[in-house]
Each structure stands twice: as structure tokens, then as C-alpha cells.
Structure 1
């Protein structure tokens, strides 16, 4: 799950520790430039946002990027030229 975190300074260790208090297997990778974290955990997006909010972070879920496909592929919507 991808989240936008306000004032994220790239300290994924601190955020991982917060989430591991709720799910010991949580994994976090971050992009400080984009202000985003990618979370792999057995938590819902709401639980992640709540845990981060309680720790002083403002976070919102970012929709996952759509997969790029080749026209005519199984995910083709027909709008490519």
C-alpha cells in the first residue's frame, strides 16, 4: 500500500517501528523526495493511517499506479491508438 506522508524526512525505520507495534511483520520502504512510503503489512490502510496519526504523522493512502499494458492485451480497454 502506498501512502503520502506529510513532512516525511526519510526515516523509514521510525515509521516501520510504529507499524510493527501493530503487525510484527510490517515492512516499509520510503521515498523522501516524493514524501511517500510503501507498506507491506497485515493491516488495513485505515489502520496504517490511524497508527501513523497517533504517532504524529499525517498520512493518506495513494491509489496504486495503473499497470501499463500493450494494446490488445488482456487488460486492454480499447482506447489506445
Structure 2
């Protein structure tokens, strides 16, 4: 799940710790320049947003980018055929 986090400042470790309090196996990767985090956890997007909000972060879910099929290109996932 991809989230836009206001005032993220690249502190992925702090955000991971917040989410691991709710799911010990949560994994978080961050993109500080874009202010985004990618979360892999057994939490709903609402639970992630609530946990971050309670810790003082403002977050919103970002739609996952869709793969575009390009015939003969490397973006093909094989599900079209």
C-alpha cells in the first residue's frame, strides 16, 4: 500500500516502529523526496492512516500505479495472453 505522508522527512525507521506496534511484521520503505511510504502489513489502509495520525503524521492512501502493457516491452506481466 502506498501512502503520501506530510512532513515525512525520510524517517522511515520511526514510521516502521509505529506500524510494528500494530503488526510486528510490518515492512516500510520510504521515498523521502516524494514524501511517500510503501507499507507491507496485515493492516488495512485505514489502520495505517489511524496509527500514523495518532503518532502525529498526516497520511493519505495513494492509488497503486497500474502497469501499462507495452507489446514486446519489459512491462508485460503475461496476464493479457
- TM-score normalized by the length of structure 2: 0.86
Seen in structure 2, the aligned counterparts of structure 1 residues 8 and 80 have a Cα distance that, compared at 3 Å, is same
Seen in structure 2, the aligned counterparts of structure 1 residues 70 and 12 have a Cα distance that, compared at 3 Å, is same
- What is the Cα-based RMSD across aligned positions, in Å? 4.1
Long gaps (5+) in structure 1: none
Post-superposition, which runs of at least 4 consecutive aligned residues in structure 1 deviate over 3 A?
A: 71-81
- Deviations along 1:19-69, one digit per CA (max 9) or x if unpaired, are 000000000000000000000000000000000000000000000001110
Long gaps (5+) in structure 2: none
For these two proteins, the number of residue pairs brought into alignment is 81
Whether the 8 Å contact between 1:72 and 1:78 is mirrored in structure 2 is no
- TM-score normalized by the length of structure 1: 0.86
What is the match of residue 43 of structure 2?
43
Q: Distance in 2 between matches of 1:68 and 1:41?
A: 26
Is 1:72 aligned with 2:72?
yes
Summarize the alignment of residues 1-80 of structure 1 with structure 2, pairs less than 5 Å apart.
Answer: 1-70=1-70
Seen in structure 2, the aligned counterparts of structure 1 residues 18 and 70 have a Cα distance that, compared at 3 Å, is same
